[in-house]
Structure 1
Amino acid sequence: MATQTTHPASHAETGKAASIGRQILTQIQFELLLTARRGENVLVTLIVPVMLLIFFTSLNIVPAVNGSPVNFLLPGILALAIMAAGMVNLGIATAYERYYGVLKRLGSSPLPRSGLIIAKVISILILEALQVIILVGVAMLLYGWKPAGSPLLALLAIALGTITFASLGLAMAGGLRAEMTLAGANALFLLFILIGGGILPLSHLPGPLAAIAQILPAAALTQALQATMTNGAAFPASALIILAVWAVIILLIAIRTFKWE
């Protein structure tokens, strides 16, 4: 009778993968705890998007989709919230963790560089889930918004957008000085507000600028959310493809260039 043997190396590899998985879960818990303790993070990621939604919806100065401005604004505000949480908050916080030596200490732990980045991206995904619940709740309670379109495709767009902008924040934090990350993240955020299509439609921009904006991740995320959250809208294939390409490229750049100190 033939006996089946297991190679010791396979046991070692399985044990190593399990250990890294536990380390990533521990780091996710740590990231969420730090986020909850930073008052400015809570303000920017949870409160400011709600204020923007209420302010612009109440003014009635944006296009009405299916009879209500909230149907146009909610996807755009969700996109801005994703950018703020991933690119601005996570990027700046990580840059200063690097500046103060926190990342150097993590670098001496068994947690690999890719594991740290994955843990930070997942923590932002969890935070984004809370943002979606709050913003959708406000839109439903105050403005009678009702779910429309394809929730699953909208969740896909949110996940791709979060990976893209969290990776962008981490790429800046891992390769630039803290002051440069602070300035760069805020400058990009302002640029994406202006040409991302979330508050000001791309059709209001000059032709050449609108063409450039179309291939940037901010407009792709906004257009994907607008289409997937609207009944009868065409499938946003190009927007999702552009967003997915940006997500893969920026994530790989962040993993390859991230420095602990």
Structure 2
Amino acid sequence: MSASLTKPAGGLDFTPGGSSAPFARRVLRQARFEATIALRNGEQLLLTLLLPALVLVGVSRVTSLDLGPGDRPALALGGVVALAVVSTAFTGQAIATGFDRRNGVLRLLATSPLGRGGLLAGKVLAVLGLVVVQVVVLGALATALGWSPSGRLLVAVPALLLGVAAFTALGLLLAGTVRAEGTLAVANFVWVLLLAGGGLVLPSPLSPVTDLLPSGALGTAVREALGSGTFAVGPLIVLLVWAVACSLACARWFRWE
């Protein structure tokens, strides 16, 4: 076959070439995109950084609040970091995904080379990246308020990872089964409810109940890690159970449109 039949006039070659980027690169790009959008959104910044920072200042300064035995600044930071995880992984993720679903964005992305698995993986990685930013910002603020940084922060990593897994799955489950307006209302209401009595920032007087909730387990695990440098095995198991159960429920009932 002659070259004139394979290459159009003008030297332009429209023969398909190349291939899509590797799966890992696609996921990382999606995670970076979602994290960037969240950091540029004023409402998201209010939820994920400003409000936790205000709570940290309040809890650190109001000495009448009982944070439990241990270093008060470390306990305050632990509780607020747990709150920050819920803000990003559950509330922020549920609202963003709910409106993406309503607007048809999820359906379009699910049919792209990224695929459904890549989209979900990108969301989880974006949440992890945002949590790292939150820990750095809140840690710097806690240092200014009297907290002494130490290796205990590494002890909190398993609790943070399990907390991200459990609350991201819970947020996606909510966003994938409820209309966007309902997701917005429920996600914000649950955030306030967990802040007030879910055992996140402060030990809850309803601890026999809240200890079985992901909020109480996360709050206890992170506070004990930062306050005494110990692994709270019981709360970690509770978080693991919630993470697995919510992930299975999300896989079963999540609707893409």
Q: Where on the TM-score scale, by shorter chain, does this alignment land: which range?
A: 0.7 to 0.9
1:79 counterpart = 2:76: no
1:30 counterpart = 2:26: no
Q: Secondary structure at the match of 2:22?
A: helix
Q: Secondary structure at the match of 1:259?
A: coil
CA distance in 1, matches of 2:240, 2:163: 8
Tell me the equivalent position of 2:6. Answer: none
Query: Between Structure 1 and Structure 2, whose CA radius of gyration is higher?
Result: 2
Selected match of 1:220 from 217, 221, 236: 217
Tell me the equivalent position of 2:3. Answer: none
Selected match of 1:172 from 161, 171, 174: 174
Tell me the equivalent position of 2:207. Answer: 210
Unmatched 5+ residue regions in structure 2? 1-18
Unmatched 5+ residue regions in structure 1? 1-15
CA distance in 2, matches of 1:117, 1:244: 19
Tell me the equivalent position of 2:186. Answer: 184
Deviation at 1:196, TM superposition (A): 2.4
Tell me the equivalent position of 2:14. Answer: none
Q: Where do residues 2-41 of structure 1 align in structure 2 (5 Å cutoff)?
A: 19-41=22-44
Query: Conserved in 2, the CA contact under 8 Å of 1:113 and 1:255?
Result: no
Residue type at the aligned position of 2:52: P
How high is the sequence identity, in percent, across the aligned residues? 37
**Structure 1 vs Structure 2 CA RMSD:** 2.2
Provide, for residues 125-168 of structure 1, a one-character-per-residue CA deviation record: whole Å limited to 9, x for no partner. Answer: 00000100111111112x22113573332011111111111111
Deviation at 1:258, TM superposition (A): 2.4
Closer, same or farther in 2 for the Cα pair 1:110/1:255, shift >3 Å? Answer: farther
Deviation at 1:26, TM superposition (A): 2.0
Residue type at the aligned position of 2:124: V
Closer, same or farther in 2 for the Cα pair 1:170/1:256, shift >3 Å? Answer: same
Provide, for residues 78-112 of structure 1, a one-character-per-residue CA deviation record: whole Å limited to 9, x for no partner. Answer: 11111011111111011001111111211221223
TM-score with structure 2 setting the length? 0.85
CA distance in 2, matches of 1:123, 1:254: 18
Selected match of 2:248 from 248, 252, 257: 252
CA distance in 1, matches of 2:26, 2:71: 46
Provide, for residues 7-64 of structure 1, a one-character-per-residue CA deviation record: whole Å limited to 9, x for no partner. Answer: xxxxxxxxx9x83323212211221221122111112111111111112222222236
Tell me the equivalent position of 1:108. Answer: 111
CA distance in 1, matches of 2:119, 2:133: 22
